[in-house]
């Protein structure tokens, strides 16, 4: 599982053998069972988290109890309530395992020490933060400008490896539509593929 983390980092910045060992020692594994929470709203998001296996969701719950999924996280992705992490305010989101999952995480204090030890790690997380911001903006624009069918097509393309493992009602929540509407879209898409 640490090899996935090191590969992910090396896609953006170089690490030598000593630095690789420092990174591996700094990240701690967390095993999650299906439906287990990694973070709850109101807690402090003091860790950066890399998904070594499984699938998780980042979501909030509105005043009437409806769940709104902002992001799914799959193997080799990073997931966090980034706003809470950066501002050091209590989280407004939950992170929960959809499937049994393994996460490698590092506490902010240890990460700051790692920045001093490996200067390229600072660059790596700066790039990851920038990419996260861009992805959030793209998702916001899609939600405002694309039809539900277009958003579903984009979802299928992005989460192809996990689509069958994510329950339909969660996909609907992510797309901002009802499960019934999603069912209609899926039937239409399926019939178009086979006609």
* Sequential pLDDT tens for the chain (195 residues): 899 999 999 999 999 999 999 999 999 999 999 999 999 999 999 999 999 999 999 999 999 998 999 889 989 999 999 899 999 999 999 999 999 999 999 999 999 999 999 999 999 999 998 888 888 888 788 778 888 888 888 888 877 777 777 888 999 998 989 999 998 998 887 766 554
* Distance between CA atoms of residues 115 and 71, nearest Å: 27
Q: Is the domain of 90 the same as that of 7?
A: yes
Residue-level pLDDT at 59: 95
Q: Is the domain of 150 the same as that of 138?
A: no
Residue-level pLDDT at 153: 87
Residue 184 tokens read as: 């209609």
Residue-level pLDDT at 143: 77
Q: What is the CATH number of the domain that holds 69?
A: 2.60.120.10
Enclosing domain of residue 177: 146-188
Q: Is the domain of 49 the same as that of 93?
A: yes
Residue 35: how many CB atoms within 10 A of its CB?
Answer: 10
Residue-level pLDDT at 88: 94
pTM (two decimals):
0.86
Angle at the Cα of 71 (from 164 to 92), degrees rounded to 5?
Answer: 140
Q: Is the domain of 160 the same as that of 137?
A: no
Q: Is the domain of 42 the same as that of 93?
A: yes
* Distance between CA atoms of residues 27 and 77, nearest Å: 15
Counting the structural domains of the chain, the total is: 2
Q: Is the domain of 41 the same as that of 124?
A: yes
**CB-based burial label for 7 (10 Å; 0-12, 13-18, 19+):** exposed
Residue 194 lies in a domain: no
* Distance between CA atoms of residues 105 and 120, nearest Å: 18
Give the CB-side neighbour count of residue 131, counting CA atoms within 13 A: 10
Q: Is the domain of 41 the same as that of 122?
A: yes
Tell me which residue of 134, 131, 112, 130 sits closest to 121, measured CA to CA: 112
Q: Is the domain of 124 the same as that of 157?
A: no
Residue 26 lies in a domain: yes
Residue 195 lies in a domain: no
Residue-level pLDDT at 193: 58
């Amino acid at each position: 599982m640490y090899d996935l983390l090191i590969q992910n980092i090396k896609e953006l910045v170089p690490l030598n053998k000593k630095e690789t060992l420092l990174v591996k020692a700094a990240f701690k594994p967390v095993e999650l069972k299906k439906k287990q929470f990694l973070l709850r709203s109101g807690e402090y998001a003091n860790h950066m988290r890399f998904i070594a296996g499984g699938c998780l969701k980042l979501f909030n719950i509105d005043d009437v109890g409806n769940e709104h999924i902002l992001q799914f996280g799959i193997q080799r992705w990073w997931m966090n309530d980034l706003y809470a992490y950066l501002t050091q305010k209590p989280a407004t989101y939950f992170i929960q395992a959809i499937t049994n999952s393994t996460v490698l995480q590092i506490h902010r204090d240890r990460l700051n020490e790692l920045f001093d030890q490996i200067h390229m790690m600072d660059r790596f997380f700066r790039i990851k933060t920038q990419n996260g911001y861009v992805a959030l903006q793209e998702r916001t624009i899609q939600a405002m400008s694309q039809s539900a069918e277009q958003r579903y097509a984009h979802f299928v393309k992005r989460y192809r490896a996990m689509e069958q493992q994510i329950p339909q009602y969660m996909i609907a929540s992510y797309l901002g539509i009802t499960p019934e509407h999603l069912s209609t879209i899926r039937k239409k898409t399926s019939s178009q593929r086979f006609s």
